[in-house]
Structure 1
């Protein structure tokens, strides 16, 4: 008989499948470090989920550890409900703040440094800071330039971002900020022709999708929502 933690684990897995954040059971099992057969055993109630799998689903999919272990709070860290494939949470920028409490709005010239964690580079710029409670997981804000992501994002929109490790498991059809040999790009990510590549897709159909080698990616961040200036 499966326990309550396992029940919530399966609930979160089903949610990730429904919202397109994982493609199938095999890919999900590989990401959280268990076999496909073990995932089947868990989903059918014949086995309970282990600590390692719990740690990995929290790490790779922003599932709340508190919710998973106790049932308290929300399933996802930054939203009361998960983002769907093509949805974004849009809010008005909150009040200004000092850097101890707020999220920095990073100038475009400093984006690569912020993505790579080079705080010295970012400190060279005078950043504005904002308190945006709905985006507690966001580490920085950047402004969208150009029209390649219209109509999802317009030039002048601001996206809230969370840095990710380079060995992250990409969530297909989610939007990322990617620092690469082609510069800093805001694109939707889809599966590439092989495991060594990903495909970068613009919302504006006038811009053709293109592949990039994972080894050419220097740093990246997940876009967790959109904010608009007052």
Structure 2
């Protein structure tokens, strides 16, 4: 069974039509029925639109079709109220400093649903920044828009990410460091530090920021 055949099987289970999914997810018309395989961009759109779909099963056929019910908040699908699309605002802050404190889990119900910011590329959730280690690129109080990624497959090294770790959320530029991920600040007053990959619960790419300009 090919990747597309597996995805069509998923759509049947969910009761979703191919054309309807293409329109709602941003796939080109006929992308599912074409004989050629999915592009990396199409897989990314599918992953965003189908947070319960097991990507390992989709690509390799291994495992179950659906993910475990214990899904992290940042992988949740967007919600719609009437015709207005929204995204969850996570009621926690990403530390623009070093890691400290214990991680506090949140559920989708605890998140305020905010109107979609159409000027920002596809994103899954927003949250606020606390601290000045990412200054001047990001300031304390800025609201960042983040897109969930599968860190087992592809990470854009050098880009700014939010790491959900066993010690809390942190926002940093990230680099490969063996069995760890090195976290780098923009503010030169803050030293680099590394986080063991096993302590990282999830990662998200920062794709946009909303800042309040002081007048």
* C-alpha displacement of 1:229: 4.7
Instruction: Give yes or no for contact 1:113–1:122 (8 Å, CA) kept in 2.
Output: no
Q: Deviations over 1:119-169 (max 9, x none)?
A: xx13134x1512311225111111111111111100011110111224131
Q: Does 1:222 align with 2:208?
A: no
Q: Structure 2: how far apart are the matches of 1:188 and 1:149?
A: 9
Q: Structure 2: how far apart are the matches of 1:187 and 1:141?
A: 16
1:55 is aligned to 39
Q: Structure 2: how far apart are the matches of 1:109 and 1:156?
A: 9
* C-alpha displacement of 1:181: 2.1
Q: 1:123 aligns with which of 109, 118, 123?
A: 109
Q: Structure 2: how far apart are the matches of 1:152 and 1:98?
A: 33
* C-alpha displacement of 1:204: 1.0
* C-alpha displacement of 1:183: 1.3
Q: Structure 1: how far apart are the matches of 2:205 and 2:104?
A: 14
Name the structure with the higher helix share: 1
For structure 2, the 5+ residue unaligned runs are 1-34, 46-79, 95-102
Residues 142 and 133 of structure 1: is their aligned pair in 2 closer, same or farther, counting only changes over 3 Å?
same
Instruction: Give yes or no for contact 2:149–2:205 (8 Å, CA) kept in 1.
Output: yes
Q: Secondary structure at the match of 1:123?
A: helix
Q: 2:140 aligns with which of 138, 155, 166?
A: 155
Instruction: Give yes or no for contact 2:162–2:172 (8 Å, CA) kept in 1.
Output: yes
Instruction: Give yes or no for contact 1:161–1:222 (8 Å, CA) kept in 2.
Output: yes
Residues 162 and 154 of structure 1: is their aligned pair in 2 closer, same or farther, counting only changes over 3 Å?
same
Q: Does 1:173 align with 2:173?
A: no
Q: How many residues are paired up?
A: 136
Q: 1:107 aligns with which of 69, 91, 95?
A: 91
Q: Structure 2: how far apart are the matches of 1:112 and 1:51?
A: 43
Q: Secondary structure at the match of 1:142?
A: strand
Greater shift, 129-138 or 180-189, is seen at: 129-138
Q: Structure 2: how far apart are the matches of 1:56 and 1:104?
A: 25
Greater shift, 177-186 or 165-174, is seen at: 165-174
2:52 is aligned to none
Name the structure with the higher strand share: 2
1:197 is aligned to 180
TM-score (norm. length: structure 1): 0.51
2:55 is aligned to none
Q: 2:196 aligns with which of 193, 213, 218?
A: 213
* C-alpha displacement of 1:214: 1.3
For structure 1, the 5+ residue unaligned runs are 1-49, 63-96, 115-120
Q: Structure 2: how far apart are the matches of 1:51 and 1:204?
A: 46
